[in-house]
Structure 1
Amino acid sequence: MNEKEKDDLYKAFGITPPSDVFEDENDKAYLRQEILERIQLTQHVQQQQERVFKLKRKKVMLSIAAAVSFILLSTSVLFFYFFNTAYITIEVAKGETRQLVLPDGSKVWLNSASTFKYPKKFGKKRTVYLIDGEGFFDIVHDKNVPFVVEAAGIKTNVLGTSFVVKSYQALSTMSVAVLSGKVAVSDDQQQTSILLKNEQVVYNKDHRKPKVLKVQAVERRAWNDGNIVLNAAYFEDLVLAVENAYQVKIKYDPEKFRNCQNSIRFNTSQSLTEVLDLIKEIQGITYQINKEKEVLITGSGCN
């Protein structure tokens, strides 16, 4: 292809032929200088981009290192915490009771259908958890380390005394009764009740208003000897006591019997029929027991 043909091809595509752009040596020198400057500018930009990339990479590496360090530290803390504050959980079946000796020598008796958790070793705190059920606590005195029982959001603080905490999840109330010494009972609303011997505080789980009563507190732990003593107890409390003692399921209308309160005493050595006959006499119920040890209670209730 000759020069004329090349020029014609450039013009066909609307491109100025190189022969028209660079007519003398000055133009060519100018072009070389411009190309050199563009190359230098490109190199400078690349160097800047490389510095920025290295800086970002350094920051990312530092962030990763910090994250790894945090994870390792957290894992170490959790590892230490787990193996130094491991807990033991005790579940007591219906129809049974159980006695425990805690790490500080304190004693706990758990009623039927109770779940209790405590640490293998006490440290600066002596805190245990009554997750469900009822427990009688006889606490070793330590003026420097208070003993705390947590149950349903209620904390019972003692230095050394004996008391009963009743906190069944199936009941609408929970209570603390003192057999000896003094306890401080507080809730999540910062309400605190100071109880002495033969005093009991009752919390309704709905409104959480504490109600302090005078009681014969020794009766609150009578179940430990197989005796069930309920004074002015709501029907739900009575039903649960029978269910736990005789390992049965009782069906009844909670609304119809909501306002029923009764006092009753019986021993778990008595038969289920004997106890139900006693409830029939004081509450006027009728009942049926099927083969699956399920009891159906009907009656007019206490409207």
Structure 2
Amino acid sequence: MEWINASEQNKEKYFKWEEIYFLGKHTISDERRAMAEQKLLARIEGQERKNKAKIITMYRFMKYAAVFVGLFVISILAYWHFDNESKSMIRFVTAEGETKQLVLSDGSKVWLNENTSLEFPKIFEDNIRELRLNGEAYFEVTSNKHQPFVVKGATMQIEVLGTKFNFKNSENCRIAEASLLEGEIRASGNANEGLITLSPGQKVELNAYTRQMKVSDTDAEVDALWHNDFVQLTNANIYDIALLLEKIYRVNIVVSPEINKTNTYSGALQKKKNIKEVLEILSHTMHFNYKINKQNIFLSVE
């Protein structure tokens, strides 16, 4: 049939062969010959219709198959794109004297202190929120019980569910430390130096050389003072404030016993460039005189 359909000459030749065949068997009339030709033509046309139907069916199949394959490829590319998007890492670095605030994809807030780098994925994975810290940072973590928040340092790591804490751990620091302001955190050494749970107002330290961990009470707001430059005080007397200023400015303060301890201060204590500016403000509120001699400061009654 393929040979017959190849050309009109082949069709005519085939008709003659058919005629010779029938004439060899018996003599046929023109009428019967015409009927035979019609039957043969009908068979040829029927076969052509079948072939066309097969071609149309195959075309439709290929068209739908192409659509399916296209959608499949698009799906794979989309998955690859978004999977790579979620796994792509972001790295922030601060220079000397620079601090920077970040908002992560889960809504958590991070403040980076100077000379600090923080690395984290653009989109957190389904089961964990993991970051790598080299330096010091303050965190306000969005609560998510099903997705722990883990900060890994050079020697220690911190795991939280939702909290505020300060974490300092760089590659060249001797003591890694974390202070907790709110919530709860779990601290552990990268070499399995125990697992310690902290409460607000506590600090954990890990010695990089002795590999020992210890917990102590701390003023966590003071530890994290660098990120917003103020501490909220409530009914703080002169001795409380003197201790606070010693920590912030690394000075020695001597308070005269004649100063009234019942005078208190409530409000935000703003960090200034030098302690003289702070003392000048407090002296008008708490009524004392001050004298500065290098790193030593003396407070007395007016």
- Which TM-score applies when normalising by structure 2? 0.51
- Amino acid across the alignment from 2:178: V
Distance 1:268 1:152, change over 3 A: farther
The SS at the match of 2:91 is: strand
Aligned partner of 2:274 in structure 1 is 270
Q: What is the deviation of 1:171?
A: 2.7
Structure 1 residues 162 and 207: CA distance shift in structure 2, 3 A: same
How far does the alpha carbon of each residue in 1:29-63 deviate from its partner, in whole angstroms, 9 at most, with x for none?
xxxxxxxxxxxxxxxxxxxxxxxxxxxxxxxxxxx
**Paired positions, count:** 181
Give the partner amino acid of 1:121. I
Match of 2:120 among 107, 118, 121: 118
Whole-angstrom distance in 2 between the partners of 1:222 and 1:122:
28
Q: Which residue of 2 aligns with 1:258?
A: none
Check conservation: 1:226, 1:269, Cα contact below 8 A.
no
Match of 1:173 in 2: 175
Sequence identity, in percent? 30
User: What residue in structure 2 maps to residue 185 of structure 1?
Assistant: 187
Q: SS at 1:223's partner residue?
A: helix
TM-score (norm 1): 0.50
CA RMSD of aligned residues (A): 4.0
**Corresponding residue SS for 1:145:** coil
| 1:115 Cα deviation after fit | 0.8
**C-alpha distance in 1 between matches for 2:116 and 2:105:** 20
Question: 1:4 maps to which residue?
Answer: none
Segments of structure 2 that go 5 or more residues without pairing to the other structure are 1-79, 232-240, 254-268, 276-291, 297-302
Checking the alignment, whether the CA contact within 8 Å between 1:227 and 1:268 is kept in structure 2 is no
Inter-CA distance 144–207: structure 2 relative to 1 (3 Å threshold)? same
**Counterpart residue number, 1:197:** 200
- Aligned residue among 281, 288, 293 for 2:295: 281
Residues 65-214 of structure 1 aligned to structure 2 (within 5 Å): 82-124=84-126, 125-130=128-133, 132-190=134-192, 191-214=194-217
One-letter identity of the residue aligned with 1:205:
A
SS in 2 for 1:84: helix
Distance, in Å, in 2 between the alignment partners of 1:156 and 1:198 is: 16
Distance 2:209 2:81 in 1: 38
Q: CA deviation at 1:119?
A: 0.6
Aligned-pair distance for 1:196? 0.6
Q: Any idea what the Cα deviations from partners look like across 1:208-246, whole Å, max 9, x if unmatched?
A: 1101000111111111234699x89xxxxx9xx99xxxx
Give the drift of 1:280.
Answer: 4.9
Runs of 4+ in 1 over 3 A off after TM superposition: 78-84, 226-229, 261-268
- Give the equivalent residue in structure 2 for 1:53: none
Distance 1:122 1:226, change over 3 A: same
Specify whether residues 198 and 145 from structure 1 end up closer, same or farther in structure 2 by C-alpha distance, changes over 3 A only. Answer: same
Counting only pairs closer than 5 Å after superposition, residues 21-36 of structure 1 correspond to structure 2 as: none
Deviation at 1:188, TM superposition (A): 2.7
CA distance in 1, matches of 2:97, 2:209: 29
Q: Cα gap change, 1:101/1:145 in structure 2, threshold over 3 Å: closer, same or farther?
A: same
The one-letter amino acid of 1:174's match is: A
User: Which digits, 9 at most, give the CA deviation of each residue in 1:229-264, with x for residues without a partner?
Assistant: 9x89xxxxx9xx99xxxxxxxxxxxxxxxxxx9779
Residue 94 of structure 1: how far off its partner (Å)? 1.4
**How far is 1:182 from its partner?**
0.7
Within 1, Cα distance between the matches of 2:179 and 2:147? 21
Q: CA deviation at 1:184?
A: 0.6
Q: 1:111·1:135 contact (CA, 8 Å) conserved in 2?
A: yes
In 2: Cα distance, 1:86 partner to 1:128 partner: 13
Question: Given that residues 156 and 169 in structure 2 are in contact (C-alpha distance below 8 angstroms), is that contact kept between their aligned partners in structure 1?
Answer: no
Question: Aligned pair 1:221/2:224, yes or no?
Answer: yes
SS in 1 for 2:224: helix
Task: List gaps (5 residues or longer) in structure 1.
Answer: 1-77, 233-237, 243-260, 272-277, 283-303
